[in-house]
């Protein structure tokens, strides 16, 4: 069931980040970020954050907002004030990932096929400290360290997985989807500091962070992986093709009539699948946003059989807001009645869907 729409962006939606039952952040291809008050369905803050499309929004320490853009920067915001920024590779369209609330995992600055890891901290003087702890790490080299390439791979001249397309964190495992269709799972082994105490001094020796290969799957190959999610603690992946894979043992493959699995979400152990063409499948439900159709006499150009008439608006992002019951004391009976009415309206778990025309629609999910 469609609940409401949000309209203020002037370009395709690139990210939707729910914060709580009353607040979400959204971003677009023009580099704008909007903070929404869902109780009034209006923006309460809007600013030009980047000079190009925004690829990722992250809630950091429940106070700051991290944004990552195609303009090759990552920024940390306190409301609309930029607290800190640093350069980042954005030759691909991959998101970035926050691990353990202090490590940022990004495509490598040197090579879009590899990854960098930064440690980001706010020191006692309220100054941001950034340290690159992993540089230009190659998942391909790690996965082939003790393996021999197949004849098929050799014939293709394949020497890497292509660019990184998507990061996803599940059960402390970092999953990475590649242009080749490969998916790699890495376990991050955090370093323990060793403290040496002498009579007049104390020395802290920091060991290096390590990455260990724990998973590799290439079922999507040769289609690039464009979506990663999870259900029932299993990784779920989608590609530019028509296959969705649930990474059980053995894997479960679901085939669809539509290609381009743009977004995957899970609710009550059921998958919500959004396709490039705007179609959304949830169990036996189909959510489709059709364009109004013009009659022939209303068209400014004559339609031809060679050019199909566009009937759907392209889906660009999906996100879930799980609404939890919030208790509060109401003194006045009139306020209590009004509050109850508002709460009833907001008790729905909400599926937010962003589209290429800059609009966002909210659907009730049960």
The residue-averaged pLDDT of 103-114 equals 94
Residue 356, both tokens: 């290429």
Do the bridges between strand 173-178 and strand 164-170 make them parallel or antiparallel, or are there none, so unpaired?
A: antiparallel
The predicted model scores a pTM of 0.85
Has residue 303 got a pLDDT over 80? no
Of the candidate ranges 49-58, 188-197, 351-360, the one whose mean pLDDT is the lowest: 188-197
Instruction: Tell whether omega for the bond before 222 is within 30 degrees of 0, i.e. cis.
Output: yes
What percentage of residues in the chain have a pLDDT greater than 90? 69
Has residue 332 got a pLDDT over 60? no
- The residues spanned by each domain of the chain are 2-365
The residue-averaged pLDDT of 298-319 equals 66
The secondary element (H helix, E strand) that includes residue 187 is: strand 183-189
Alpha carbon of 309 to those of 15, 53, 208, 260, 316: distances in Å?
Answer: 28, 28, 56, 19, 20
The 10s digit of each residue's pLDDT in 238-247 is 999 999 999 9
Q: Is the CB of residue 244 less than 8 Å from the CB of residue 236?
A: yes
Has residue 222 got a pLDDT over 50? yes
DSSP-derived letter for residue 49 is: -
How far apart are alpha carbons 167 and 55 in whole angstroms? 12
Q: What is the topology classification, in CATH, of domain 2-365?
A: Methylamine Dehydrogenase; Chain H (2.130.10)
35 Cβ contact list (under 8 Å, min separation 6):
23, 24, 25, 43, 44, 45, 46, 79
For CA atoms 234, 187, 216, 116, the dihedral sign is positive
Has residue 298 got a pLDDT over 80? no
Higher pLDDT, residue 26 or 326: 26
Q: Which pLDDT score is estimated for 76?
A: 97
Average pLDDT, the chain: 86
Q: Is the CB of residue 356 less than 8 Å from the CB of residue 53?
A: no
**Cα–Cα–Cα angle for 329, 335, 337, rounded to 5 degrees:** 95
């Amino acid at each position: 069931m469609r609940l409401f729409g949000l309209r203020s962006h002037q370009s395709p939606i690139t990210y939707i980040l729910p914060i709580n039952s009353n607040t979400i952040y959204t971003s677009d291809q023009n580099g704008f970020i909007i903070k929404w008050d869902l109780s009034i369905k209006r923006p309460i803050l809007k600013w030009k954050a980047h000079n190009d499309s925004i690829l990722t929004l992250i809630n950091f320490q429940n106070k700051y907002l991290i944004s990552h853009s195609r303009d090759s920067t990552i920024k940390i915001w306190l409301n609309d004030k930029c607290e800190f920024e640093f350069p980042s590779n954005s030759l691909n369209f991959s998101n970035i990932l926050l691990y353990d609330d202090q490590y940022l995992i990004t495509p490598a600055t040197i090579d879009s096929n590899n990854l960098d890891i930064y440690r980001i901290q706010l020191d006692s003087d309220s100054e941001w400290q950034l340290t690159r702890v992993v540089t230009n790490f190659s998942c391909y080299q790690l996965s082939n360290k003790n393996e021999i390439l197949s004849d098929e791979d050799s014939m293709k001249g394949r020497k890497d997985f292509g660019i990184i397309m998507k990061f996803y964190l599940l059960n402390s495992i970092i999953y990475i989807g590649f242009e080749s269709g490969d998916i790699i799972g890495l376990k991050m082994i955090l370093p323990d500091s060793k403290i040496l105490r002498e009579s007049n001094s104390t020395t802290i020796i920091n060991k290096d962070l390590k990455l260990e290969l724990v998973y590799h799957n290439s079922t999507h190959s040769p289609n690039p992986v464009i979506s990663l999610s999870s259900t029932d603690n299993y990784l779920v992946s989608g590609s530019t093709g028509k296959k969705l894979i649930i990474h059980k043992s053995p894997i479960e493959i679901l085939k669809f009539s539509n290609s381009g699995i743009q977004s995957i979400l899970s609710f009550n152990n059921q998958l919500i699948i959004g396709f490039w063409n705007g179609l959304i499948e949830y169990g036996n439900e189909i959510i489709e946003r059709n364009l109004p159709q013009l009659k022939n006499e209303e068209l400014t150009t004559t339609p031809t059989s060679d050019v199909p008439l566009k009937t759907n608006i392209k889906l660009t992002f999906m996100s879930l807001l799980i609404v939890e019951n919030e208790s509060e004391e109401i003194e006045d009976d009139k306020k209590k009645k009004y509050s109850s009415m508002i709460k009833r309206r907001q008790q729905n778990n909400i599926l937010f869907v962003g589209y290429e025309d800059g609009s966002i629609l909210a659907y009730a999910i049960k």
